[in-house]
Amino acid sequence: MEYTVKELARMAGITPRTLRWYDRVGLLPPERLTEAGYRVYGSEQVDRLQQILFYRELGFPLDEIRTILDDTDFNPEVALQSHLRALQEHRERLNELITTVERTLLNKKGEIRMTDQERFAAFKKKAVEENEAKYGPEIREKYGDAAVDAANQTLLGMDQEKKDAWDALDAQIRSAMEAAVIGGEDPAGAEGQRIAQLHKQWLGFVFRDYDPLRHVGIAQLYVADERFAAYYDREVPGCARFLRDAVSVFIETV
């Protein structure tokens, strides 16, 4: 079956302007153009549009979606299985948040008693799951399942006061690194070593025992893995490298 821009847009729940834009950026060209220059879409374009919308729902940027769909190894059935798993995980997170809201309302009414830790458990679990999805394989390969599982359990067991202190320390470290890089500080100097000490304290929130080799390994990962580097360098490039170099010197003194 064939569709015009307006028909396909209505069926997919998007605007005709969006379809035209997908064509312009090479993401979803029409099957053909009529003699009058109107776009016509067929079954292949319908399938591709569904994949595009699935990936958009999961937060993928358009450039990345085009790269994925244009890959000669792209398998629609495998992709659908992946979408299904991701959406099921998303549904589970939503259910946990809904349960938290429902229990919070009951707590407000005095019908149940809810601890402060229970009120934030769903948010911390979401953060752990997102970190696991992004960095889990690399960290587990480097430090082992036991160490990573223990760190995750520590994070999940944090009360809100400790979690706030951990986040505040992270912000303090990033701010200090940015100032140090802008100011041309030496990672081996006093300020660089103070930052490395702060980072040691930050790791202490999730790792019970301090391990210098793990400390320097994590700092090296910040540079080696572009996802970590993007986090630390998002405002001032060079912060991840500064921290790695500072920690490399710091561990020689502990």
Q: What's the predicted TM-score (pTM) here?
A: 0.46
Residue bearing the bigger pLDDT, 49 or 160: 49
- 5 to 24, 36, 182: CA distances (angstroms): 13, 14, 51
pLDDT tens-digit readout, 85-126: 878 777 777 777 677 677 778 877 888 786 656 665 655 565
Average pLDDT, the chain: 83
pLDDT tens-digit readout, 12-45: 999 999 999 999 999 999 999 999 999 999 999 9
Q: What is the mean pLDDT of residues 65-89?
A: 86
Domains and CATH numbers, the chain: 3-70 (1.10.1660.10), 159-253 (1.10.490.50)
CB 240 within 8 A of CB 233: yes
34: left (phi over 0), alpha (psi -120 to 50) or beta: beta
